Structures are given as C-alpha cells and as structure tokens.
Amino acid sequence: MENVFKKNETHNKFAWENLGNIEEGRGDLGTEMPVLVYRLMQFTMLDILTRTYGPDKANDLFRDAGFLAGTEFAKNALDLTCDLDTFVANLQKALAELKIGILRMEAFDPETGNLILTVGEDLDCSGLPITNETVCSYDEGFIAGILEAFTGTKYDVREIDCWANGDRTCRFEGLAMN
C-alpha cells in the first residue's frame, strides 16, 4: 500500500489557496470556532517556541508569522488600490466581520506615515489575566504586513498598551521605515 502521508513539499510553505474551502469541508460545523480554540493553539505553540528558542526569539517568530498572515490577508481580502480613508474603513469592516477585533485609527501623520491604532476585543488577549506585559507580538506583525501591503512601505509596529498589562484595549504604534 502506498504511503499517503509522504512529505508534501508545499505543505510547509504558506499559500492562501491552501487554506481550502472551509464551507465545503465543515458543512455541519461551519466556518467559525470559539476564541478559546484559537488561543489554545496560539498559546501552546508560543509555549513550545519559548521553551525551545527563548522568549525573544519566540516573539520574533510569532511577529514574522503575523507579518506573513497580514500580508496575505491584505492581498487576498482587501482592496489595496483605494485611498487611505476607504482602506481603513474596509479594514475595520473586515476585522469586525471576521471577529478579529474592533479597529480604530487614533492618529496618522501624513508626512511620516506614522500612526497609532487600537484593536479592541482582539483575539489574542482581551479577557486575559493581568501579567504586566504586552502579549500581542503576532498582531504587531499582522498589522505591519497589512500596512506594508497597502503602502509599499515597511513598518515597525509595536504594542504600547495591552489588556494583559491592565489596559482594556490594545494600542499599537506603527513607524514607517522610510
């Protein structure tokens, strides 16, 4: 009998189309799942990466994964040809519809491209116990990937407020790397 579990050369390389047809594959269960399941996967993966590589490298890897996800999300789910106001409105709508979080733009400097935004009720940390740390490194990368896909400019995005450090929304500063 042929081994159907042979290593697939494309298995480990991300491609949007490899996400599959979720509606077809989950006809009874549907396309949604509880945040608990997302966090179970995320935090166990982060735990293993932290034990293997240390906390700084683990967060870097999560940020890199978020960047890839944000880039692909922007390219495949958003209109990248519209003006900034329309783009932000579309992004807010997409994030809310997918129940990723509630996006608000707090500040934008048109000269530098620097910005501050918040994501409320986010997947990663809303409702976590207070640990006095920021925990949304994946989101940092996700936002940076979206911004770069839209603007063509690299962004350094860092979380400056987090539910896990006592705030009730996550706040991110994005610095355009001109």
The pTM for the full model equals 0.92
Q: How many domains, in total, are found in the chain? A: 1
Q: Which range of residues forms the domain containing residue 138?
A: 34-176
> Does a structural domain hold residue 69?
yes
> Does a structural domain hold residue 19?
no
Cβ–Cβ < 8 Å for 35, 122: no
pLDDT number for residue 13: 87
> Does a structural domain hold residue 2?
no
pLDDT number for residue 143: 98
**Residue 123, Cβ neighbours under 10 Å: how many?**
19
Q: What is the mean pLDDT of each run of 10 residues along the chain (178 residues)?
A: 51 86 94 94 96 97 97 98 97 97 97 97 94 94 98 98 94 95
Cβ–Cβ < 8 Å for 80, 157: no
158 forms beta bridges with 173
Encode pLDDT of 91-130 as tens digits.
999 999 999 999 999 999 999 999 999 999 999 999 999 9
> Does a structural domain hold residue 159?
yes
Cα–Cα distance for residue pair 107/31, rounded to 1 Å: 34
> Does a structural domain hold residue 156?
yes
> Does a structural domain hold residue 65?
yes
> Does a structural domain hold residue 43?
yes
Helix (H, G, I), strand (E, B) or coil at 107: strand
pLDDT number for residue 116: 98
Encode pLDDT of 168-177 as tens digits.
999 999 999 9
pLDDT number for residue 178: 78
CATH of the domain at 79: 3.30.1380.20
pLDDT number for residue 151: 97
Amino acid at 42: Q
> Does a structural domain hold residue 84?
yes
Mean of all residue pLDDT scores within the chain: 93
Helix (H, G, I), strand (E, B) or coil at 157: strand
